[in-house]
Structure 1
């Protein structure tokens, strides 16, 4: 049977019953007993502080306006399409310039197409922008089955770009999306004009695991790398659960909105040394809660965790070399990022910013937009 390749117009319209259910669940949250001495709302050393989480949950229940955010998102063109029996959701924003270059934006976890909400309007003067959600994320649900990992997703994204009419395009990505971006270039170099990666010091956690430790590091550099690994290890609980036990954590994320909120909001805590900012001081609170709400309404807490399991057990390399021009923008820059991930300075465009972090499209959208534009102009 031939697969239906149609691009089907899509509009976000969460049923009112789902909104009422969310508020009711938030109102009846069973909170843990407070532990004496742990009342600091900015101390994330043991995870997200319950006192801070309760403040955020109260705002989500009583003040956050999903319908207003839904209307903003619906200002863009949305579509769904089926590839290999899996439903994919995409956002397609055409430039006023019909000759503009197509630009695919790839996100990771715990992001979504909402992550690029502020970035898209900064790019459409020069680019036709496409944002695709990987299987298990947002409206690219429910999952059609097992086996959706980087390689299969990359081929599906290439097919969708063809359906949209873009034989040639550029790609940007962060987190998991950087793996998809790099794989697109490696497997389809005749189609990908250039790749742009948004990175931060957390990428150093991949050195020694997904990327080799380069020769010639000094004793001080090795000590710095070990310090980063030590800090990263303290933050890997979510990764081990999603890599190996997605079904177990998925039940809690699907049944408890506060559980889903805690699981995601903690990752928006700034990781700069000594920084005491809470998540909504790093990113817009309503945008953060729109992202969390999307996970809640689509049950993506479980489905997106399956992507981690599939990737961990696929045996695939996260990064694939290609001859396609590449640019990196490193936010909250650490000198070891280039020293370890590009020791030969093979990446032609390399930018470092003291601002931002793991979610540059939400934290510093203008810096990111300008860097993408500068890089793609340099290779045109």
Structure 2
């Protein structure tokens, strides 16, 4: 594996092109400009675009992100952008954090120092981690795969190669959304390398084996399946489209930064614990930094297509199959439908199950301190297993 230092530098031409497109936006008509029932609010989007044009400075965000230790690695002929923050403590534990859609590596910007240098962030130096935060293939500054077949399973193999290439033969993994699936595949495929996984979401495709030999569904488990079906019917159209016809959607979002922003912002608002006021939880510049990464990344088709790859390779389990490394689950109250503990324990050894007091789907952005504390607590008794 080859590793090189990486500096973020979006071409001036790309920044100018974005500004030109924003200046030429054609707004749709609507029955309710302030409402969100039909999707992204027209009033909010007009204010967002005005901020994007006149007050948001990509170069300021770029300068800040370049203070992180950014690198590029070539793993199995796939270039991967990642942040690698060495820990400060007596014996830091290697930990890989994985984002999802519509997030990016910047989700973890506040979380990284809390984990790498806990003593400077209200914690115990004994809980320090060597933190590795890669960008999924086709996301941010990680180039898109050159061929089909790059599901969360294959990404887990890349992550294993990345960690071993960095000298971490044994490590922990953490993630939400797609990152939860990647972390689970890491534990499933590489149990000798993964000491444990911490999840703030249980992958939507996760299904224990069903059949005559399986225990009957409990009332809580059936209620979870019913909630999931109802949520999918009302909120799951984005996933159905990305998992079936991502290229058609990409034609629209690749050509329109406002369309891309609307597609992403509506999810941040719906899935965060913001009470309908997204800026009360996620600042507008943070939203626009994430959206700009998708725009400047120039590989939007694959970031959407990962849903199709995961549909073709779901996280299903055979009768009797179990995940060997232990798992910790942080359940945030405004998360997408989450299963009861018993449903997860059909496959996993659940060491820790924490009901969080606040937060939603974007836990690292919304409640980084709560998430950091739970990650530290979960991995604390597992550190001896690295020896």
Give the alignment partner of residue 100 of structure 1, picking from 88, 92, 97: 92
The answer to whether 1:356 aligns with 2:352 is no
Q: Deviations over 1:10-46 (max 9, x none)?
A: 10011122111111111110111233xx132xx3221
Structure 1 211/78 Cα, relative in aligned 2: closer, same or farther at 3 Å? farther
Partner of 2:122: none
Structure 1 52/210 Cα, relative in aligned 2: closer, same or farther at 3 Å? farther
Aligned mates of 1:120, 1:277 — CA distance in 2: 28
* Count of aligned pairs between the two proteins: 366
Q: How does 1:127-166 map to 2 (within 5 A)?
A: 127-166=129-168
Aligned mates of 1:250, 1:333 — CA distance in 2: 29
Aligned mates of 1:78, 1:144 — CA distance in 2: 23
Give the alignment partner of residue 370 of structure 1, picking from 336, 354, 373: 373
Partner of 1:193: 195
The answer to whether 1:265 aligns with 2:265 is yes
Please tell me whether the aligned partners of residues 90 and 131 of structure 1 are also in contact (alpha carbons under 8 angstroms): yes
Partner of 1:39: 33
Aligned mates of 1:260, 1:369 — CA distance in 2: 30
Partner of 1:303: 302
Partner of 1:280: 279
Partner of 2:25: 29
Q: Deviations over 1:278-300 (max 9, x none)?
A: 33223222112111100000124
Please tell me whether the aligned partners of residues 184 and 192 of structure 1 are also in contact (alpha carbons under 8 angstroms): yes
Aligned mates of 1:256, 1:276 — CA distance in 2: 28
Aligned mates of 1:194, 1:188 — CA distance in 2: 11
Partner of 1:347: 350
The answer to whether 1:79 aligns with 2:71 is yes
Structure 1 211/197 Cα, relative in aligned 2: closer, same or farther at 3 Å? farther
Partner of 2:180: 178
Structure 1 163/228 Cα, relative in aligned 2: closer, same or farther at 3 Å? closer
Aligned mates of 1:8, 1:364 — CA distance in 2: 32
Deviation, structure 1 residue 147: 1.5
Deviation, structure 1 residue 272: 7.8
Instruction: List alignment gaps of at least 5 residues for structure 1.
Output: none
Deviation, structure 1 residue 204: 9.0
Aligned mates of 1:294, 1:327 — CA distance in 2: 30
Give the alignment partner of residue 379 of structure 1, picking from 359, 379, 382: 382
Please tell me whether the aligned partners of residues 204 and 229 of structure 1 are also in contact (alpha carbons under 8 angstroms): no
Please tell me whether the aligned partners of residues 2 and 75 of structure 2 are also in contact (alpha carbons under 8 angstroms): no
Deviation, structure 1 residue 51: 1.6
Q: Deviations over 1:49-85 (max 9, x none)?
A: 1121111111111111211111111111111122232
Aligned mates of 1:221, 1:161 — CA distance in 2: 36
State the SS of the aligned residue for 1:348.
strand
Aligned mates of 2:64, 2:247 — CA distance in 1: 33
Aligned mates of 2:204, 2:151 — CA distance in 1: 21
State the SS of the aligned residue for 2:132.
strand
State the SS of the aligned residue for 1:269.
helix
Aligned mates of 1:369, 1:222 — CA distance in 2: 32
Deviation, structure 1 residue 183: 1.2
Instruction: List alignment gaps of at least 5 residues for structure 2.
Output: 118-127
Aligned mates of 2:263, 2:60 — CA distance in 1: 24
Structure 1 318/21 Cα, relative in aligned 2: closer, same or farther at 3 Å? farther
Structure 1 346/86 Cα, relative in aligned 2: closer, same or farther at 3 Å? closer
Deviates more, 1:135-144 or 1:6-15: 135-144
Structure 1 340/206 Cα, relative in aligned 2: closer, same or farther at 3 Å? farther
Please tell me whether the aligned partners of residues 333 and 352 of structure 1 are also in contact (alpha carbons under 8 angstroms): no
Deviation, structure 1 residue 215: 2.9
The answer to whether 1:16 aligns with 2:12 is yes
Structure 1 336/99 Cα, relative in aligned 2: closer, same or farther at 3 Å? closer
Aligned mates of 2:203, 2:163 — CA distance in 1: 31
Partner of 2:255: 255
